[in-house]
Amino acid sequence: MIDQQLKQTLLEFRRERDWEQFHTPKDIAISLSIEASELLEWFQWKTPKQVQARLHSEKREDLEDEIADVAVYLIYLCHDLGIDLSQAIENKMVKNKAKYPLEKVKGRNDKYTEY
Mean pLDDT of 21-39: 98
CA distances from 32 to 12, 16, 65, 72, 75 (A): 19, 21, 13, 9, 10
DSSP 112: G
pLDDT in tens, 36-50: 999 999 999 999 999
pLDDT in tens, 93-114: 999 999 999 999 999 998 888 8
- Its pTM stands at 0.90
Same domain for 76 and 21: yes
Could you give the number of structural domains in the chain?
A: 2
Q: Do 1 and 89 form a contact (C-beta atoms < 8 A)?
A: yes
Same domain for 97 and 69: no
Same domain for 69 and 18: yes
Same domain for 93 and 77: no
Q: Do 69 and 35 form a contact (C-beta atoms < 8 A)?
A: yes
